[in-house]
Copies of this chain bind each other. A is one copy, B any other.
């Protein structure tokens, strides 16, 4: 038999394997936030939130994405992880490996990074450049959050409502249309969501400051996968309702063109830079007065992820998302 390979594990099990190895080297108090969207460093009254994501041209950037938008997306994926914790962006660090780009492309890539950094209020404070065979962008975002306001995956309680900050499936629809080479006329909103996603940093700041949220994460790995994370961290279950899901008509139309189930795009695909979060009903109502919330379900005791379909029938959903390193 061939030896076990990392492709047999998938990303989440690989990360568990890394974390279990960390535990033998470090005290638990040094490992705050492991398994959450960003790591936390204890700074007294505040946490410093730190997160890193690495993007590879051939794997993470849709076809037709401009260099400018590659730069923008690199910053956005990292800012989305800060948003998930409610942290205010403080800085961004970028390490790149680049093929021998022409200067115009290079400047465009850097402009995309700078515009996004400026948009999110996080100056580019350092980095590294290297030679590579394709564009590899490794970003690290640094943020700050008051300890008593930090949003974790672990606070959901039965009876809480589940909500998302925006529509589901648009980023997925746009990306799949671009990947398939289909004519994208009429799908401009989806394509824009795919090529120039925006992290919910402002909404996250409002949510965190309100102190009303019981748990939160971003849904870049797919809604159901992330609901699974909230469930596991909180020791609860999740029930969502098909009729409440904010899936725009463009997603259904794209699914029809692509010959896929629109729910596959909305629930499993990822690429939406929205947040999913929970709050008790009263708190959710208060939140809905200060920002847009789409209530999609409720936290339950039984540790499953359940869907109530449009006929009122309930079935269990298999927790899966987009996993790197899985064949």
Binding site for B on A (CB under 8 A): 3-7, 9, 11, 14-15, 17-18, 21-22, 24-26, 30-34, 38-41, 43, 48, 50-56, 59-60, 90-91, 93-98, 100-104, 106-107, 110-111, 114-115, 117-118, 123-133, 136, 138, 140, 142, 324-325
Q: Specify which of B30, B107, B325 is in contact with A123 (CB 8 Å cutoff).
A: B30
Given that A3-B104, A130-B59 are known contacts, is A31 also in contact with B324, CB under 8 Å in the complex? no
A325→B131 contact, CB < 8 A: yes
A22→B95 contact, CB < 8 A: no
Q: Specify which of B33, B41, B52, B124 is in contact with A140 (CB 8 Å cutoff).
A: B52
Taken together as a complex, chains A and B put the C-alpha atoms of A115 and B11 apart, in Å, by: 22
Taken together as a complex, chains A and B put the C-alpha atoms of A43 and B45 apart, in Å, by: 12
Please, which residues of chain B bring their CB within 8 A of the CB of A97?
Answer: 54, 56, 136
Given that A5-B101, A6-B106, A130-B56 are known contacts, is A22 also in contact with B142, CB under 8 Å in the complex? no
A102→B325 contact, CB < 8 A: no
B124→A4 contact, CB < 8 A: no
B21→A114 contact, CB < 8 A: yes
B101→A33 contact, CB < 8 A: no
Please, which residues of chain B bring their CB within 8 A of the CB of A22?
Answer: 114, 123-124
Please, which residues of chain B bring their CB within 8 A of the CB of A40?
Answer: 125
Main SS of chain A's interface residues?
Answer: mixed
B93→A39 contact, CB < 8 A: yes
Please, which residues of chain B bring their CB within 8 A of the CB of A41?
Answer: 90-91, 125, 142
B31→A123 contact, CB < 8 A: yes
Given that A56-B97, A130-B325, A324-B129 are known contacts, is A4 also in contact with B140, CB under 8 Å in the complex? no
Q: Specify which of B11, B106, B125 is in contact with A33 (CB 8 Å cutoff).
A: B125
* Closest 6 A/B residue pairs (Cβ): A138-B138, A39-B126, A39-B125, A54-B95, A26-B123, A30-B123
**What's the least CB distance linking A312 to chain B, in Å?**
40
Taken together as a complex, chains A and B put the C-alpha atoms of A245 and B6 apart, in Å, by: 47
Q: Specify which of B26, B110, B131 is in contact with A21 (CB 8 Å cutoff).
A: B110
Q: What is the chain B residue whose CB lies nearest that of A134?
A: B133
Q: Specify which of B52, B107, B126 is in contact with A51 (CB 8 Å cutoff).
A: B126
B17→A110 contact, CB < 8 A: yes
Taken together as a complex, chains A and B put the C-alpha atoms of A100 and B41 apart, in Å, by: 32
